[in-house]
Structure 1
Amino acid sequence: MKIVKNILCVLFALMFINAGLDKFFHYMPVPPADEATTKLYEAIGTISWLMPLVGTVEVVGGLLFLFPKTRALAALIILPVMVGILVHTATFFPSGLLIVILMFVVLLWVIASNWNRYKILIN
């Protein structure tokens, strides 16, 4: 089970690193979007610091997620971004929801398996 978890975590981390780097270098193709989605992207684009911030969080979180020792911290860093991805995908691209839900499950699995580390933060 540990090997499966490590493989899933490495894949999860690589997806976040790739998504974060794309926010800086724009190398992945952008799928066609409807008018509402295009307006949303234009509005987000007016906040010049937002996408670099999200990209940085994705890259740093992804790099930390690669290593079991820092995975608990990475899960907390990535959680808000992952919730945003989940809501955005459910709203605008429901056809891609399966992969996002699978990624969210991996993230929740990591959080659950590190729960003892988080207890200090709660107490």
Structure 2
Amino acid sequence: MKSKIRFIICLLYGLIFINAGLNFFFGYMPPPDHLPDKMQKMNAAFMGIGWILPLVACVQIVGGVLFIIPRLRFIGAIMLFPVLIGILLTHLSAAPEGLPLALILLGINLWIMYEHREKLRLMIK
């Protein structure tokens, strides 16, 4: 039962990131109309860089797929961790109303990384 719940959580988590990455490329979800000015300026700055948002979208897609596959879940968690830190910092500085979801996503990622802490220790050694 515990493994089924873990799989469902990881499946939904992975699908969230796959959806976010695909939405960048295909634009099937319109952006919210009520974005704060600070957030609009940040988005414009990132779009001005040109290469960073497509890279983040690719990492989201690949990391989301890896997160769904139990054998590769740890690699997906490591790939998505910097993206989650960026999401968290963005919401801390520009749009605090999205902070609860960002903290939940970060918590799930840290939970999976904690479950695979032995692999993480080997990487850090």
TM-score class, shorter:
over 0.9
Q: Is 1:12 aligned to 2:13, yes or no?
A: yes
Residue identity opposite 1:88 in structure 2: T
Superposition pairs for residues 1-123 of structure 1, below 5 Å?
A: 1-31=2-32, 32-123=34-125
Deviations 1:71-92 (A, max 9, x none): 0111110000011111112222
Could you tell me whether the CA contact under 8 Å between 2:39 and 2:95 is conserved in 1? no
Could you tell me whether the CA contact under 8 Å between 2:36 and 2:95 is conserved in 1? no
**What are structure 1's unaligned runs of at least 5 residues?**
none
Could you tell me whether the CA contact under 8 Å between 2:11 and 2:68 is conserved in 1? yes
RMSD: 1.2
TM-score normalized with structure 1 length:
0.93
- Measure the CA separation in 1 of the matches of 2:104 and 2:38: 26
**1:98 Cα deviation from its structure 2 partner:** 1.4
Deviations 1:50-88 (A, max 9, x none): 111000000000000011100011111000001111111
**1:122 Cα deviation from its structure 2 partner:** 1.5
**What are structure 2's unaligned runs of at least 5 residues?**
none
Residue identity opposite 1:29 in structure 2: P
- Measure the CA separation in 2 of the matches of 1:118 and 1:11: 23
After TM superposition, what 4+ stretches of structure 1 lie above 6 angstroms from structure 2? none
TM-score normalized with structure 2 length:
0.92
**1:3 Cα deviation from its structure 2 partner:** 1.9
- Measure the CA separation in 1 of the matches of 2:39 and 2:62: 27
Calculate percent identity across the aligned residue pairs: 35
